[in-house]
Amino acid sequence: MKTRTFGRTGWDVSEVGFGAWGIGGGQWGGADEKDSIAALHTALDAGITFFDTADVYGDGISERLIGRLRKERQEPFWIATKAGRRLSPHTADGYNAENLLAFVDRSLKNLDVDRLDLVQLHCPPTEVYYRPEVFGALDDLVTAGKIQFYGVSVEKVEEAIKAIEYPNLQSVQIIFNPFRLRPSELFFKEALRRKVAVIARVPLASGMLAGRFTSQTTFPDDDHRAFNRDGALFDRGETFSGVDYETGLSAVEKLRSLVPSGVTLAQFALQWILSFEAVTTVIPGGRRPSQVQENVKASGLPALPAKTLEAVAEVYQQLIHPLVHHYW
């Protein structure tokens, strides 16, 4: 597994990480605990050293499973969690020192650690990025020894660009995949200039870029791919990257013709993401060991030729750009 430097932290993390939303079960149609812990062990076996979770994934199940992994294995690895989405209502005023401390303490308990490696504000309202006192509260948590570093997980490019103005912010997590190219414009340049780590989330567009869905595919009622296509519960950009289902299928068919022999579409999508220098780590999910094993192979693939990168951009311009570029 190849590694990349995680901003200014001094960490060298695996360029393919582990996105742990799915193993929490919630909003993904459930998850089998035995498969989930097996997937986590498979990830470590394959050289993954960066695990991304959140306090709301399965109402803490995801964090507790990763905490269990840390007890069962001796290899060093880093855990990034998130705070803020337990707020109800989810408002900017809720991002205050008292609530952030409570969220951090809950994650410390779930993960069974004395200090969190990385805490990310979890897609807060845009107004939060214009409240320096919020980032001051995070600085206080660092000083108190509760967290080592902090970052943000954002919905919009503009939020990312604003967030990296805070000098102690170490990372930005953002949706980036062949269906979401806008981050590669101004934001990636600024992240490189400021040495801020970039975590690419939703890399397979909620599984669409794995290439296994058809127009007849159905999802459980409690799976966000069924209930959140129009943003019923959270930002619709988190579901299929905001692309409507049928357009996504059409784009997948065009991308399929670009995939090298012996490579899966999912590996190709991850390989494409990793071709961008600004990306520190990409975090596909994996609820089963077989999914993890497929994902990690993207790290060992040769660089994509320029003509392939141009062809991916052309598919985006033709089918996806009009639907998403101006939103996120």
What was the pLDDT predicted at 26?
65
Cα–Cα distances (Å) from 286 to 204, 212, 223, in that order, read: 11, 15, 15
- The domain locations on the chain are 3-324
| CATH superfamily entry for domain 3-324 | NADP-dependent oxidoreductase domain (3.20.20.100)
How far is it, in rounded angstroms, from Cα 149 to Cα 151? 7
What are the pLDDT digits (tens) for 107-162?
Answer: 999 999 999 999 999 999 999 999 999 999 999 999 999 999 999 999 999 999 99
Mean pLDDT, rounded, for 279-304: 94
What was the pLDDT predicted at 29?
64
What was the pLDDT predicted at 281?
98
Among residues 26, 14, 113, the alpha carbon closest in space to that of 66 is found at 113
pTM over the 0.85 mark: yes
Chain mean pLDDT for the chain: 94
User: With 70 as the cut, is the pLDDT of residue 322 above it?
Assistant: yes
Please give the structure tokens belonging to residue 17. 């990480």
What are the pLDDT digits (tens) for 24-41?
Answer: 876 656 678 899 999 999
What are the pLDDT digits (tens) for 42-95?
Answer: 999 999 999 999 999 999 999 999 999 999 999 999 999 999 999 999 999 999
152 with 132: CB under 8 angstroms? Answer: no
Please give the structure tokens belonging to residue 240. 């299929």
